[in-house]
Amino acid sequence: MTEALVQSHIMQPDVSVVITFHQEGLLAHKSLLSLSRCRIAAEKAGIRVEIVATLDRPDAETERVVRGYDGPGKPDVLLPLDIGDLGLARNKAIREASGRWVLVCDGDDYLSENFICCCMQAASEFGGKAILHAQLVVLFDGWNAISWQVGDDDPAFDPACLLVCNPWNSCSFARRDLYIDVPYVRARPGESGFGFEDWHWNCETLSLGHPHRIAEGTVHYVRRKAHGSLNAAHERHHALIHRTRLFGFAP
């Protein structure tokens, strides 16, 4: 059942931040602090923001942290779920969201303070049609690295690269109706044989003609766990991405 926590001060939000929590523990607090900074910056710029969070089979510590947080990043809508699948949890949260725009992130992600503002600016520049991604990705914890993402309009970009790699990570910003029209697929590692729901979603949206572009000046800080990461689970079980239109297969 949906729990509306702090809905009174948000009327018709411009942006719904969808964040999924599972077993992030204390790191969930840092993610909510990150969203606090993003929300404060956005609302100073006149952008109304709501936060829609899922607690999908959380451990006790994660649930305690999320429910106990009381700053500007406190979820306006909290969805306790028993799904056990990241993509399906996102779909549920997106259906509950009220904003015209949706920003998707995970419960152990941190975003640069300007993230929402830059995405809204880029959305305007691209006529509201593009899916937006962070310009810089910083990996930390079990694996430290920095990488730059490029849009599909970059001269060096080749769509065929999606045969072997995922050029854009799971954090994305687009119109809510786009996520409704192209939902994430089920990808439980070790059960379905399929995985990498964000990779598949990138393939599907690209094949349907939705441009993937970069919100310049944005940074996405991503925890790459040394043990227990979802990506590692997909790899360990030799998961495949679902059939996609991008390679000539109906989903």
pLDDT in tens, 52-101: 999 999 999 999 999 999 999 999 999 999 999 999 999 999 999 999 99
**What residues contact residue 244 under an 8 Å CB cut-off, 6+ apart?**
200, 203, 204, 207, 251
Higher pLDDT, 37 or 5: 37
pTM of the model: 0.87
Q: Which two tokens mark 138?
A: 């910083």
Confidence of residue 9 (pLDDT cuts 50, 70, 90): very low
| Separation CA 3–CA 9 (nearest Å) | 16
Q: Which two tokens stand for residue 236?
A: 């360990």
Q: How far apart are CA 84 and CA 135, in angstroms?
A: 30
Q: Do the beta carbons of residue 209 and residue 218 sit within 8 Å?
A: no
The span from the CA of 176 to the CA of 12, in Å, is 13
Q: Which residue has the higher pLDDT, 11 or 246?
A: 11
Question: What Rg value do the Cα atoms of the chain yield, rounded?
Answer: 17
DSSP SS3 for 74: coil
Residues 107, 81: Cα–Cα separation, whole Å? 14
Q: Does pLDDT of 35 surpass 60?
A: yes
Give the tens place of pLDDT for each residue, 123-154.
999 999 999 999 999 999 888 999 999 999 99
